[in-house]
Each structure stands twice: as structure tokens, then as C-alpha cells.
Amino acid sequence: MAQYLILIYEDEAAWATAGPEGYEQAMKEHTAFGHANGAALRGGNALQPTGTATTVRREPTGSFSVTDGPFVETKEALGGYYLVEAADLDEALAVAKQVPAPFGGVEVRPVQVFD
């Protein structure tokens, strides 16, 4: 079995206007997703908004620059992830299609294993 990371990208501005009802509905949907896919799930978390991000970059001189904000400005930001175990990409995609992402979508990437 291989592991895949399902990255959830959504529009933070849409979440900001969704209100408590929208947030509560999303939590219900993620809970249902977890129950339906518990056998495949190996982990997952929501992330704080991009306004809480700090970016670290190595400079050509070897020093580091540290700046407030996300690595890149984008309409849809990484808001959370699920780590799943699946027989193949098709099985991982079947799980990914069930992830609640009302204001965006998901990206599925295989986890690289180093021997």
C-alpha cells in the first residue's frame, strides 16, 4: 500500500463570509468523511489561515530571510490535508473525491519513500 497526501485548497475569503453555519456544516461533512474513510486515513489536520504563516527562505549568501505571510500569494490557499493509504492512485482519487471542499478543490500527491 502506498501513502498519498490529499491537500485541500480553498478560498479563505469565501470561508470568512460563510459564517458560523457554514463552518459548522463543513465540520459535520469532514466528520462524516472521516467515518466513511477511517480505514484509509492515516492523519490529517486543518491549518490556521495564511495570515498566520511565516515564510523562511535561504539566501544565496547562506543566511535566511524570514517574512510574515504565505510562501506565495494565491486565491486558493492550502487549508488542510489528509494522509491516506491506498492501493494505487485510483483508490486515492476515489477517497479524494469525497473530501468536503466547498470553496475550492483538492490535490492528490503520492508520498515519496526514501530507502
58-103: pLDDT as tens digits: 999 999 999 998 777 788 999 999 999 999 999 999 999 999 999 9
Q: How far apart are CA 47 and CA 2, in angstroms?
A: 24
**What's the start-to-end Cα distance of the chain, in Å?**
16
Q: Which CATH class is domain 2-110?
A: alpha beta
Grid cell locating 22:
457554514
Distant-in-sequence, close-in-space partners of 13: CB < 8 Å, separation ≥ 6: none
pLDDT given for residue 73 in this prediction: 75
pLDDT digits (tens, 9 = 90+) for 1-59: 999 999 999 999 999 899 999 999 999 999 999 999 999 999 999 999 998 999 999 99
- The three-class DSSP label of residue 41 is strand
pTM of the predicted structure, to 2 decimals: 0.89
- Can you give the residue ranges of every domain in the chain? 2-110
